[in-house]
Structure 1
């Protein structure tokens, strides 16, 4: 009798184990099926968002070309494309975005446009840094970071300075691809980066510096001796664009500034950044593209998922 009871107990245990195993296998299959469907859904949403980004780029191209036709010689602050794009709802997604003027920021890549440090550009950035109450050696370090050589300029930083960091690094000796690379400079901490980031960009080397859209702090880059009060008077408001470089020169002379070299500056922009956020069925995708304008044409130079 005891033997039969033990046999029944073993059989029951085996049956329970079999049932448990079956439940685990079924749960695993269901889990894998749900994961597979989630992957497919996410992949499809990512592909959908990428196509929507291309559509947003097409809108940006048309807006830029329309602006060029309306004012071919200058780009004012009241151009329609400067307004953020209101949320657009399409089946399965909501799109928001804006077009950033890369002529309204100091282009870090201008510090060594041909691979060699441009001392005049370094001095222009130093004037901006002084206006922001930041150390001028940041400009020298940024120039060393972007120029091709490995020679340390005064107050600069090359491989030896980066090797002493933790973790150790090396100077890039190539153009900036994103302004966040400034954080690698020995003279840039979180406070400095927060103060400087709104006024700089990593644009193509031939991006124009647009005096019609430059904020007052960036006007300090135009000439030695300019103070912030003068820069505020010279900076433009919507509806008050400079229409010629001669008009800029006359405005500078009224401020007592007669030594400005206006060669590096322009009254229009030719480089732009499309920034988009696409909410596709609860999945949020950020995209950025860099556009370059030439007469009658706009070219996409770069497109990334994320922020540039």
Structure 2
């Protein structure tokens, strides 16, 4: 009887210990999930607060752009030190930085096509030549440059016919991971990585020089905000006729208050004897419709980055007719 009593007591003790162990595991799991939920809720609140600060920074930038436009509707210059300068945003419980840059001074990939009818795009041969010239100027092989320029124009245009050195659906279907050409305007420069011939190395070379704007119009640079380091953008306008050295000299000779018109720019000593066609001459303008705002908000250990595209014309045909507006916003670091 005593032995049976001891066995029953031992079994009861094991049962109790097992229950305690199970309850401890359940409690630990519940506590871990509670801590995780708390962290997620805290992170969500931090992100929401960071986004609210970003929206506030956008409103400050829009007012600044509106002030710049109202000061001189005909041109935009570097006066005031607004371009490429970090502005500190005093934030409670965090820190913010905002930088405004000229988004005109790049090669707009959507300029490779022209909108012939609403929603229908056809290749723009002049822009394709300029894109190929830009690639050669920054060190990309001539053959690769020609193929990438043609394939990019085919990627955006509305038809399915291969252009000169281009690539359409039949090419992409034959790849190991088959896909189709977009046949529409690009929304982000990262789409260029899907175009035939664009390797990671070439994409890294091109990235500082290209952009995607929501309009399919010829590239329009602002010679009053271009830096001498961006001289290849001027040299690409007339391939073989403008050297990087000449373009750099023209930008370095810019008057303190900027050029009053593109005519003064082309009449400079650096371009002596050069008579660009009117459509090419107009690609070197003195105003900017598109501006880019980069905002970095730090809250605790988290950093929220936003890139906003500003239309200084507010959708109107020219500056001053409507208030500047945000047309696109991207969250997170760029690729």
- TM-score, normalised relative to structure 1: 0.92
Are 1:116 and 2:142 matched, yes or no?
no
Are 1:247 and 2:264 matched, yes or no?
yes
Are 1:157 and 2:173 matched, yes or no?
no
TM-fit CA distance, 1:208: 4.0
TM-fit CA distance, 1:231: 1.5
> Residue 286 of structure 1: SS of its match in structure 2?
strand
After superposition, residues 1-308 of structure 1 pair within 5 angstroms as 1-114=2-115, 115-134=121-140, 135-205=145-215, 208-214=220-226, 215-224=230-239, 225-236=241-252, 239=256, 241-251=258-268, 254-260=271-277, 261-294=280-313, 295-296=319-320, 297-307=323-333
**Aligned residue pairs: how many?**
308
* Contact 1:245 1:267 (C-alpha < 8 Å) held by counterparts: yes
In structure 2, C-alpha distance between the alignment counterparts of 1:69 and 1:52, rounded to whole Å:
26
2:316 corresponds to: none
> Residue 104 of structure 2: SS of its match in structure 1?
coil
* Contact 1:77 1:238 (C-alpha < 8 Å) held by counterparts: no
* Contact 1:287 1:304 (C-alpha < 8 Å) held by counterparts: yes
In structure 2, C-alpha distance between the alignment counterparts of 1:209 and 1:150, rounded to whole Å:
31
Compare 78-87 and 122-131 and name the one that shifted more: 78-87
In structure 2, C-alpha distance between the alignment counterparts of 1:190 and 1:239, rounded to whole Å:
39
In structure 2, C-alpha distance between the alignment counterparts of 1:78 and 1:101, rounded to whole Å:
13
In structure 1, C-alpha distance between the alignment counterparts of 2:10 and 2:50, rounded to whole Å:
59
* Contact 1:77 1:212 (C-alpha < 8 Å) held by counterparts: yes
* Contact 1:204 1:271 (C-alpha < 8 Å) held by counterparts: no
* Contact 2:246 2:271 (C-alpha < 8 Å) held by counterparts: no
Compare 148-157 and 62-71 and name the one that shifted more: 62-71
Q: 1:266 to 1:204 in 2, by over 3 A?
A: farther
In structure 1, C-alpha distance between the alignment counterparts of 2:186 and 2:105, rounded to whole Å:
17
TM-fit CA distance, 1:70: 3.1
2:118 corresponds to: none
* Contact 2:220 2:282 (C-alpha < 8 Å) held by counterparts: no
TM-fit CA distance, 1:158: 1.1
Compare 112-121 and 10-19 and name the one that shifted more: 112-121
Q: 1:254 to 1:217 in 2, by over 3 A?
A: closer
Gaps of 5+ in 1: none
In structure 2, C-alpha distance between the alignment counterparts of 1:98 and 1:166, rounded to whole Å:
41
TM-fit CA distance, 1:307: 4.6
In structure 2, C-alpha distance between the alignment counterparts of 1:255 and 1:164, rounded to whole Å:
50
Q: 1:126 to 1:252 in 2, by over 3 A?
A: farther
In structure 1, C-alpha distance between the alignment counterparts of 2:114 and 2:325, rounded to whole Å:
20
TM-fit CA distance, 1:252: 7.1
* Contact 1:128 1:221 (C-alpha < 8 Å) held by counterparts: yes
* Contact 1:76 1:239 (C-alpha < 8 Å) held by counterparts: no
**C-alpha offsets along residues 172-199 of structure 1, whole Å, 9 cap, x if unaligned?**
1111111122111221112211211111
TM-fit CA distance, 1:57: 0.6
> Residue 184 of structure 2: SS of its match in structure 1?
coil
